[in-house]
Chains A and B, each alone.
Chain A
Amino acid sequence: MKYLLKTENLKKYYGKKEVVKALDDVSLAIEEGKSLGLIGESGSGKSTLGRIISCLEKPTFGKISFMDQRIDNLSEKQFRSLRKDMQIIFQSSKGVFDPTYTIGDSIKEVLKNFEKLSEREYEERIDETLKSVGLDPDLKYRNVNQLSGGQCQRANIARALILRPKFVICDEPVSSLDYSIRKQILNLLNEIKEKYGITYLLITHDLSNVSYVCQAVAIMYKGKIVEYLDDTEKIGEKVIHPYSKILYASIPKANPHNRSIVYDKDNERVSELNQIIKGCSFWDRCEKCSEICKKNIPDLKEIYPGHKVACHLV
């Protein structure tokens, strides 16, 4: 099996005195053409993982390989040639474009960094890409402040796509958008995926996004992957890990009488990354917690083909 991206025992610690373990032993593999959704609550380390994979930050420990090449020890200069194949879409906000540049110039700059074309070819390529994300090419003469939120996010996607990358990291691509626009953008991501053959790493805390775009899903908790599923249909029924269950039970139901979440107020604790916990990172919130959970850290075991869980009790 060919892996597009593979991380092994990735760790990222912040701080010197009080160590914050943003990532703790993350091993992931993404196959070509099989987009992965990464889910987790705020502070679970999913955005950190995105930044580390795209080499915007260096890991404290661990290996990352991209297209059969180790990338975690490359310098920014050496990695630059690989950026053509790995792009990142940031969370939509006006801040992702330089306010003194027009949209067209911002996109052109990215293209110019990697490809030497004539001025005319640059313009054609930008127009074509803007059209493919559903924007009027004339918008390239505008500044970011003159765009709406949805347009801004489409332009953001256009900037990532202009290089025709193989792998795109989407860091919360829709979380700051209106509900009506969210679905449009997700459908757009889907269309583009099929058109250009892109593999995504979709980082999100919105569970409903995943099944739209992804073929596999990983659930993170406190810097660790607690569950991995090779299939995104009816995830809610398939998950086994107690945390994943709570996570899926928290999806709001249309009918209030069907509310399934039963949440013990006493057990509610803020999950803090710097809290040093022996054993399973979830035991203090887990209902089924037993003695072994407090002592040993569970490994990510494969229980069915394509289904991995890190829990002692399964």
Chain B
Amino acid sequence: MVKKVIDIENVFFYNRKSKVEKLENKVISNFGLKRFLEKTSTKAGFLIIIIFITVALFAPVLAPHDPLLVDVTNKLKNPSLSYPFGTDQLGRCVLSRLIWGARNSLLYSFTVLFATLMIGVPIGLVSGYLGGKVDSVIMRIIDIFMAMPSFIVALAIAGTLGASGKNLVFSMSLVYWAEYARLSRALTMQIKEQSYVMALKAGGCNDFQILFKHVLRNIASSIIALATMEIGSIILSIAGFSFIGLGVQAPTPEWGILLSDSKEYIQTFPSLMIYPGVAIVIVVMAFNLVGGGIQDGLSAKKR
């Protein structure tokens, strides 16, 4: 009788243990997120990113005023209770414009990132996996796109299709995808040599399964690392292109536009320029911290 009780306990314990183990493995295999968040700087970066994304998502709720509402009688006011960051040269609320600016800047950057990943990664996967002639043709095409300077392409597209946020996303995606294609090709070629790929083939998996269920999963963490490092520079580029008038157009609130709008007041009213500048610096830094943390985590995993 006593033995039976113990057995039941054992079974219960085993079931629970296996469930916990299952969960733990899921978390770990989710690209090893656990390890990336170990460092304080990465945690801080992650927190900042989450704050900015939340602000961007809830911009309509959080912004105290309409960012486009012009009230010239109220222009260039110092911070007050109703205008926490003051007003700009047209009497618009700076805080509202910053909040909406976060939404636009992040939206455009993520769109560029998403588009480049969607184009670059599958091309790199197929190129690396098939090899041979297909690979050399694709590589030459990638070389062509790598050779194009993003500034010239943005200029050309703004000149032919007109300067707008959409066209800027298009021209940046056109240049940046090649980098991801190249990285995922190199990583795929590495994974292809692993013996489990042959084992999968012997187990009856077709090429599609091998590529998108196994190879992609194995290279995902490295690509995510590159993407988080890169998104900072994408945010900077979008702000930069908008600043010189090749991207998002005024009066849309976007950090680059905020900067360029305020450039005439740099001596008389410098805070107009400082706020969006600081916002850009903080977000880019946060993304770099997280990207660096992920890369550290990856190299630790490899060791």
Is B151 an interface residue, CB under 8 A from the partner? no
List of B residues within 8 angstroms of A91 by Cβ: 195
List of A residues within 8 angstroms of B218 by Cβ: 98-100
Give Cα A93–Cα B195 distance, bound, in whole angstroms: 9
Q: Is B199 a contact partner of A114 (Cβ separation < 8 A)?
A: no
Give Cα A80–Cα B18 distance, bound, in whole angstroms: 34
Give Cα A109–Cα B25 distance, bound, in whole angstroms: 18
Q: Using CB atoms, name the residue of chain A closest to B18.
A: A138
Most B CB atoms within 10 A — which of A76, A80, A91, A138?
A138
The answer, among B21, B194, B202, B209, for a CB contact under 8 Å with A54, is: B202
Is B212 an interface residue, CB under 8 A from the partner? no
Most A CB atoms within 10 A — which of B18, B22, B201, B203?
B203
Which of A6-14, A82-90, A269-277 forms part of the interface with chain B?
Answer: A82-90
Most B CB atoms within 10 A — which of A88, A138, A141, A156?
A141
Given A93-B195, A95-B196: A56 touches B25 (CB 8 Å cut-off): no
The answer, among B28, B195, B204, for a CB contact under 8 Å with A96, is: B195
Given A80-B204, A100-B218, A113-B205: A95 touches B195 (CB 8 Å cut-off): yes
Q: Is A109 a contact partner of B217 (Cβ separation < 8 A)?
A: no
List of B residues within 8 angstroms of A98 by Cβ: 196, 200, 214, 217-218
Q: Is A95 a contact partner of B202 (Cβ separation < 8 A)?
A: no
Q: Is A56 a contact partner of B203 (Cβ separation < 8 A)?
A: no
Q: Is B198 a contact partner of A142 (Cβ separation < 8 A)?
A: no
Q: Is B25 a contact partner of A110 (Cβ separation < 8 A)?
A: no
Q: Is B204 a contact partner of A90 (Cβ separation < 8 A)?
A: no
Q: Is A95 a contact partner of B21 (Cβ separation < 8 A)?
A: no
Is B29 an interface residue, CB under 8 A from the partner? yes
List of A residues within 8 angstroms of B21 by Cβ: 138, 141-142
Give Cα A101–Cα B22 distance, bound, in whole angstroms: 12
Give Cα A114–Cα B202 distance, bound, in whole angstroms: 12
Given A141-B18, A141-B25: A97 touches B204 (CB 8 Å cut-off): no
Given A98-B218, A143-B29: A90 touches B205 (CB 8 Å cut-off): no
Contacting B at CB under 8 A, from A262-280, are none
Q: Is A56 a contact partner of B201 (Cβ separation < 8 A)?
A: yes
A109 to chain B, nearest CB (A): 7
Is B39 an interface residue, CB under 8 A from the partner? no
Q: Is B203 a contact partner of A141 (Cβ separation < 8 A)?
A: no
A142 to chain B, nearest CB (A): 7
Q: Using CB atoms, name the residue of chain A closest to B210.
A: A98
Give Cα A56–Cα B29 distance, bound, in whole angstroms: 29
B184 to chain A, nearest CB (A): 16
The answer, among B14, B17, B204, B217, for a CB contact under 8 Å with A110, is: B204
Is A132 an interface residue, CB under 8 A from the partner? no
List of B residues within 8 angstroms of A215 by Cβ: none
Number of A residues with CB within 8 Å of any CB on chain B: 31
Is A154 an interface residue, CB under 8 A from the partner? no
Contacting A at CB under 8 A, from B164-207, are 194-196, 198-206
Q: Is A113 a contact partner of B18 (Cβ separation < 8 A)?
A: no
Q: Is A143 a contact partner of B203 (Cβ separation < 8 A)?
A: no
Is A224 an interface residue, CB under 8 A from the partner? no
Given A100-B29, A141-B25: A87 touches B214 (CB 8 Å cut-off): no
Give Cα A96–Cα B206 distance, bound, in whole angstroms: 17
Q: Is A113 a contact partner of B204 (Cβ separation < 8 A)?
A: yes
List of A residues within 8 angstroms of B203 by Cβ: 83, 87, 109-110, 113, 159
A168 to chain B, nearest CB (A): 11
B41 to chain A, nearest CB (A): 27
B234-256 CB mask vs A (1 if < 8 Å, else 0) is: 00000000000000000000000
Q: Using CB atoms, name the residue of chain A closest to B198.
A: A56
Is A102 an interface residue, CB under 8 A from the partner? yes
B interface residue numbers (CB < 8 A to A)? 14, 17-18, 21-22, 25, 28-29, 194-196, 198-206, 209, 213-214, 217-218
A interface residue numbers (CB < 8 A to B)? 51, 54, 56, 76-77, 80, 83-84, 87-88, 90-91, 93, 95-102, 109-110, 113-114, 138, 141-143, 156, 159
Other than the given A83-B202, A83-B204, A100-B218, 12 more pairs (CB < 8 A) read: A87-B203, A96-B196, A96-B199, A99-B218, A101-B214, A102-B29, A109-B205, A109-B209, A138-B17, A141-B22, A142-B21, A143-B25
Q: Which 8 A-B pairs have the closest CB atoms?
A: A110-B203, A113-B204, A95-B195, A141-B22, A138-B18, A100-B217, A83-B204, A88-B202
